[in-house]
Amino acid sequence: MDQNELMTLQHYMKEYGQQAEIFVGQMEMLENGRMEAFAAIDTLEAMVAADDGTVLLQIGGGASVRAKVLEPDKILVSIGAEVVVERSNKDAVEFLKERIIEMEASQKKVAETLDRLRSQMNEINKRLESGYQQAVAAGQDQE
Amino acid sequence: MFGGLKEKLQAARDRLGSSIQGAAAAAQAPVTTGTATGSASDKTISPAAPTFADKVKVLVLDRELIVSEKDISDALSELEMTLLESDVALPVCDAIIAHVRTSLIGKHRKIGQSVDALVVGALRSALLEVLGKGFNLVEYIRTHSRPVKILFTGVNGTGKTTTVAKIGAYLKKQGYTVVIGGGDTYRAGALEQIGVHAERIGIKLIQHQEGADPSAVLFDSVQYAISHKIDVVLADTAGRFHTKSNLMNQLEKIRRVMKPDLVIYVDEAVAGNDAVIRAAEFDRTVGADAIVLTKADMDSRGGAAISIAHTIGKPLMFLGTGQRYEDIIPFEPAQIVDELLGSDR
């Protein structure tokens, strides 16, 4: 394996690494979105369960206040395309559950792509290592 | 690709169909009663008289039903929600609903005629209207003087450089000679990246060192294409947000120096409505002649692909659908609509 081939393989590794980083970022975004949706479902269900509609409202820094929700069955949901619609509590929970399913499907696709990228990177890594070993062996022979 | 939207459209289409079917059944009901009465008095009519079957046929099968607003208003509201949930931009959603409404309401439909065909026809023409005509790059190159200079712009990290390589490979396959201008001299490693792509697909790359003036690189690329009789120059540029005035000024300079025939805006389909908003901003500030959406294979909603052409009035040219060079498909509206609604209908 000559020097040029080694350099090309290093470039490939770098490029695949950058692509993998982008996909890892997407996975994180999807996971955050999924967790947010779960938290929203918990809150919506807790609002119904609480007789007087009192919930704990987090205000940051680990602090919370007791807040009374005036209309626990009128939920404003951002449904996409920057449009917000009013839904009943039950419909909002259904909507969020569907969103979670969508996000999980997207996560699966991104994970598949990441796996493909990683296996290509492993392959290149193997070739790189064998190239380095050849280069070291050639250097020792010359000495 | 766009699996979620496909499923939702199927549900909306079934809902519209059943609404019309329901209205048809209601209209048919008195006729059936009439038929029963007819049977009772049938004894007085000669058995050989052929007019009875004809009458039933005329009354039941050939009778016209006029679809009213009331018949489909609920189903149209559901369709509207379906589109919005798929991140289809509000004005585009309105256009689709208006088109479907106009296509269906007041329509004289024979009761024997397929409701599904009627609904699919209305949805198909509405989607085709908002998707526009697409952009045939090969046809454009064929009919313009060479070299055809294509400048790629867009925000960071959407796959612009990879798209340049994919389009290069696509044009090479179509029999055109291509040179790539490495105009992203800003991002660390960008020149290496495009260099690897160019080498893999066997296309000449013109580049200067990192940090060089991109206008100079792209000017040299055009000069190279002229002197070597190359058909197409693909000019890669650094990703930028429209709010960064220094980078936008740089893009303006590139435009003045390189005089591109086409400016292509590249963004990712998974960004949904954000991609549509960004494309509109770019079009306002630097202009765009066509759009490429990447990562369409990971986009289940399809909102950006449906909305972008209608919102900014510029055609969608390609969809990026994977990691390999051949994973790019020319955007053909009829084919996309067939994919969404099923071509067999």
Task: Identify which has the larger pLDDT, B6 or B59.
Answer: B6
- Whether the predicted pLDDT of B38 surpasses 60: no
**Residue A8: closest CA among chain B residues belongs to which residue?**
B196
Question: Is residue B44 very low, low, confident or very high in pLDDT (cuts 50, 70, 90)?
Answer: very low
- Whether the predicted pLDDT of B243 surpasses 90: no
The ipTM assigned to this model is 0.72
Task: Identify which has the larger pLDDT, A98 or B247.
Answer: A98
Q: For residue B75, give the nearest of B27, B122, B163, B16 by alpha carbon.
A: B16
If you average pLDDT over residues B6-14, what whole number do you get? Answer: 84
If you average pLDDT over residues B189-196, what whole number do you get? Answer: 85
Q: Report pLDDT for B64.
A: 62
Fold for domain A3-45+73-142? Answer: Helix Hairpins (1.10.287)
Window A:80-109, CB contacts with B under 8 Å? 80-83, 85, 95, 102, 105-106, 109
Distance CA B162, CA B240 (A): 16
Question: Is residue B42 very low, low, confident or very high in pLDDT (cuts 50, 70, 90)?
Answer: very low
Q: What is the pLDDT of residues A13-61, one digit of tens each?
A: 888 898 899 889 989 999 999 999 999 999 999 888 887 888 888 899 9
pLDDT above 90 covers a percentage of chain B that reads 38
> Which member of B3, B93, B189 has the closest CB to residue A81?
B93
Distance CA B64, CA B28 (A): 10
If you average pLDDT over residues B170-175, what whole number do you get? Answer: 95
Helix or strand run (H / E) with residue B145: none
Q: Report pLDDT for B271.
A: 87
Residues of chain B with CATH 1.20.120.140: 3-131
If you average pLDDT over residues B192-196, what whole number do you get? Answer: 87
Q: Which chain A residues are Cβ-neighbours of B323 within 8 angstroms?
A: 19, 113, 116-117
If you average pLDDT over residues B162-176, what whole number do you get? Answer: 95
What is the separation, in whole angstroms, between the first and last Cα of chain A?
Answer: 19
Smallest Cα distance from A47 to chain B, Å? 25
Question: Is residue B217 very low, low, confident or very high in pLDDT (cuts 50, 70, 90)?
Answer: very high
> Which member of B86, B196, B301 has the closest CB to residue A12?
B196
Q: Report pLDDT for B33.
A: 41
CATH class of B137-331: alpha beta
Test the A interface: residue of B8, B77, B81 with most A CBs within 10 Å: B81
Instruction: Kindly list the distances between the CA atom of residue B195 and the CA atoms of A134, B199, B220, B261, in Å, as whole numbers in the listed order.
Output: 26, 6, 16, 24
CB contact under 8 A, A116 and B93: no
Q: Is A23 on the interface with B (CB under 8 A)?
A: no
- Whether the predicted pLDDT of B174 surpasses 50: yes
Question: Is residue B52 very low, low, confident or very high in pLDDT (cuts 50, 70, 90)?
Answer: low
Q: Report pLDDT for B54.
A: 59
Question: Is residue B180 very low, low, confident or very high in pLDDT (cuts 50, 70, 90)?
Answer: very high
> Which member of B3, B85, B192 has the closest CB to residue A79?
B85
Q: Is A76 on the interface with B (CB under 8 A)?
A: no
3 state SS of B154: strand
Task: Identify which has the larger pLDDT, B224 or B41.
Answer: B224
Question: Is residue B43 very low, low, confident or very high in pLDDT (cuts 50, 70, 90)?
Answer: very low
Q: Which chain A residues are Cβ-neighbours of B93 within 8 angstroms?
A: 81
> Which member of B157, B298, B303 has the closest CB to residue A81?
B303
Residues of chain B with CATH 3.40.50.300: 137-331
Q: Report pLDDT for B229.
A: 95
3-state helix, strand, coil in chain A (%, to 5): 70, 15, 15
CB contact under 8 A, B81 and A19: no
Q: Do residues B155 and B207 make contact, with C-beta atoms less than 8 angstroms apart?
A: no
> Which member of A81, A102, A117 has the closest CB to residue B89?
A81
Helix or strand run (H / E) with residue B67: none
Fold for domain B3-131? Answer: Four Helix Bundle (Hemerythrin (Met), subunit A) (1.20.120)
Angle between helices B3-40 and B69-85 (to 10 degrees): 160
Q: Is A118 on the interface with B (CB under 8 A)?
A: no
Q: How many cross-chain Cβ pairs, A to B, lie less than 8 Å apart?
A: 65
Smallest Cα distance from A79 to chain B, Å? 5
Q: What is the pLDDT of residues B75-118, one digit of tens each?
A: 888 889 889 988 899 999 999 999 998 888 876 666 566 777 88
Q: For residue A78, give the nearest of A58, A99, A57, A55 by alpha carbon.
A: A99
Smallest Cα distance from B321 to chain A, Å? 12
CB contact under 8 A, B270 and A82: no
Smallest Cα distance from B176 to chain A, Å? 26
CB contact under 8 A, B84 and A81: yes
Q: Kind of pairing, strands B178-183 and A63-68?
A: unpaired
3 state SS of B171: helix
- Whether the predicted pLDDT of B141 surpasses 90: yes
CB contact under 8 A, B273 and A80: yes
Q: Report pLDDT for B34.
A: 42
Q: Is A19 on the interface with B (CB under 8 A)?
A: yes
- Whether the predicted pLDDT of B66 surpasses 90: no
What is the separation, in whole angstroms, between the first and last Cα of chain B?
Answer: 19
Q: What is the pLDDT of residues B297-336, one digit of tens each?
A: 888 888 888 999 999 999 999 999 988 899 999 999 998 8
Distance CA B200, CA B170 (A): 13
CB contact under 8 A, A79 and B93: no
Q: What is the pLDDT of residues A107-134, one digit of tens each?
A: 998 999 899 999 999 999 999 999 888 8
Q: Return mean pLDDT, chain B.
A: 83
Q: What are the extents of the domains in chain A? A: 3-45+73-142
Q: Do residues B314 and B131 make contact, with C-beta atoms less than 8 angstroms apart?
A: no
